[in-house]
């Protein structure tokens, strides 16, 4: 076992055990909430997590008898929003956003302002989502094998939604697994990355499927593969990377709910139950699938276990490419 892997085990173990260590003097969940609940998001309005939470917001307010206030606080790769949640002591502040803030950021930011292993507890993974590998049709790359073959002979650029973002990490995981090199062109979000691939300014991109699917459907982008372990429900003809190039490849990402470590365990469990019940309603599942999101709604313990596993995986990729962001 490498020294680097040994150094990650305590962090991963703390993540996986974090739920059990929460809330020794647990507040009675029946009396919660006693005031408005704030959910801080590291994304602008319209992002997948924003979309999902606003879908269930009215029903959450009915269940809890208090306003549910969704606040968009983008910046610093999600660290601004999560740091505020980590420091909250009112038992009424949550984080909603990509899992990468706790599985990638600790490996690439030296100054987080919080420690996900000791300050944050997963509540649930709400939905999973894919990155989709797409190329401008003029490149002539009709499948993943053709792209990888070309990249070994000539310079190929790829767009991502930013350093350390899911699109960047998924592509670097693929390049490392196939011993291939491409030049990374980072953008500030998936939309501008997708538009530049459509325009032909960058040849390809591994970008959130929600951003590229409209262009795939009208023929302006050629889909080669999806990053997760399963095919996209909105593009079932597009193979996974595991099917086409690297057996076992799985770069699935998630939109999550996270809570401060001091929030009582009983309250965390109540939040998870209530959110899961709403997410699993047929009409919500249908609306999620329509934008290529798959409901997960797992338990706090299951979410913590997944965080621990993915933290090790993405830490390895970050070290492989020497990624640092501060």
pLDDT at position 9: 43
Mean local confidence (pLDDT), 21-50: 81
The structural domains of the chain, with segments of one domain joined by +, span 3-128+254-320, 131-244
User: Do the Cβ atoms of 232 and 244 come closer than 8 Å?
Assistant: no
Q: Which two tokens stand for residue 217?
A: 């459907």
Strand 204-208 and strand 37-41: the pairing is: unpaired
pLDDT at position 202: 98
Mean pLDDT, the chain, whole residue set:
91
Mean local confidence (pLDDT), 12-30: 50
Closest among 227, 47, 251 to 134, alpha carbons compared: 227
Mean local confidence (pLDDT), 8-37: 60
User: Do the Cβ atoms of 125 and 298 come closer than 8 Å?
Assistant: yes
Mean local confidence (pLDDT), 76-95: 95
User: Do the Cβ atoms of 99 and 124 come closer than 8 Å?
Assistant: no
Closest among 56, 114, 110, 66 to 259, alpha carbons compared: 114
The CATH architecture one would assign to domain 131-244 is 3-Layer(aba) Sandwich (3.40)
- Residue 24's pLDDT band, with cuts at 50, 70 and 90, is very low
Chain segment 297-317, per-residue pLDDT in tens: 999 999 999 999 999 999 999
- Residue 144's pLDDT band, with cuts at 50, 70 and 90, is very high
Chain segment 250-299, per-residue pLDDT in tens: 999 999 999 999 999 999 999 999 999 999 999 999 999 999 999 999 99
What percent of the chain has a predicted confidence (pLDDT) above 70? Answer: 92
| Cα dist from 236 to 83, 102, 175, 208, 233, whole Å | 38, 30, 24, 16, 6
Instruction: Please give the sequence-ordered ranges of beta strands (E in DSSP) within the chain, or none if there are none.
Output: 37-41, 68-72, 93-98, 120-129, 131-135, 157-160, 183-186, 204-208, 222-226, 253-260, 294-295
User: Do the Cβ atoms of 181 and 175 come closer than 8 Å?
Assistant: yes
Mean local confidence (pLDDT), 148-155: 96
Q: To which residue do tokens 């990155």 refer?
A: 131
**pLDDT over threshold 70, residue 249:** yes
Separation of alpha carbons 53 and 60, rounded Å: 9
Mean local confidence (pLDDT), 93-103: 96
**pLDDT over threshold 60, residue 8:** no
- Residue 27's pLDDT band, with cuts at 50, 70 and 90, is low
Q: To which residue do tokens 């965390």 refer?
A: 268
Mean local confidence (pLDDT), 77-106: 95
Q: Which residues of 22-43 are buried (b: 16+ CB within 10 A; e: fewer)?
A: bbeeebebeebbeeebbbbbbb
pLDDT at position 29: 85
**pLDDT over threshold 80, residue 16:** no
- Residue 200's pLDDT band, with cuts at 50, 70 and 90, is very high
pLDDT at position 116: 86
Assess whether the region 3-128+254-320 and the region 131-244 belong to the same CATH fold. yes
CATH homologous superfamily, domain 3-128+254-320: Bordetella uptake gene, domain 1 (3.40.190.150)
């Amino acid at each position: 076992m490498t020294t680097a892997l040994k150094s990650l085990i305590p962090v991963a173990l703390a993540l996986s055990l974090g739920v059990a260590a929460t809330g020794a003097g647990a507040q009675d969940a029946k009396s919660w909430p006693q005031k408005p609940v704030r959910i801080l998001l590291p994304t602008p309005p319209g992002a997948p997590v924003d979309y999902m939470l606003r879908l269930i917001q009215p029903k959450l307010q009915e269940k809890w008898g208090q306003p549910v206030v969704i606040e968009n606080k983008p910046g610093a790769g999600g660290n601004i929003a999560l740091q505020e949640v980590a420091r909250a002591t009112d038992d009424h502040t949550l984080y909603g956003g990509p899992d990468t803030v706790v599985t990638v950021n600790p490996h690439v930011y030296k100054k987080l302002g919080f420690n996900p292993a000791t300050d944050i507890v997963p509540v649930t993974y709400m939905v999973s989502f894919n990155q989709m590998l797409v190329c401008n049709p003029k490149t002539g790359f009709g499948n993943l094998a053709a792209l990888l073959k070309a990249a070994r002979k000539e310079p190929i650029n790829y767009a991502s939604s930013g350093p350390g973002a899911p699109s960047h990490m998924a592509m670097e995981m693929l390049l490392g697994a196939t011993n291939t090199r491409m030049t990374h062109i980072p953008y500030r979000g998936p939309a501008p990355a997708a538009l530049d691939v459509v325009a032909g300014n960058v040849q390809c991109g591994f970008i959130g499927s929600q951003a590229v699917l409209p262009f795939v459907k009208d023929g302006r982008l050629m889909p080669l593969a999806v990053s997760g372990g399963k095919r996209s429900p909105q593009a079932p003809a597009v193979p996974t990377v595991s099917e086409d190039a690297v057996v076992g490849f799985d770069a699935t990402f998630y939109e999550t709910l996270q809570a401060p470590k001091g929030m009582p365990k009983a309250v965390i469990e109540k939040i998870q139950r209530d959110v899961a019940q709403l997410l699993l309603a047929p009409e919500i599942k249908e609306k999620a699938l329509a934008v290529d999101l798959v409901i997960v709604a797992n338990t706090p313990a299951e979410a913590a276990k997944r965080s621990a596993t993915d933290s090790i995986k993405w830490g390895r990729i970050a070290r492989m490419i020497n990624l640092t962001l501060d």
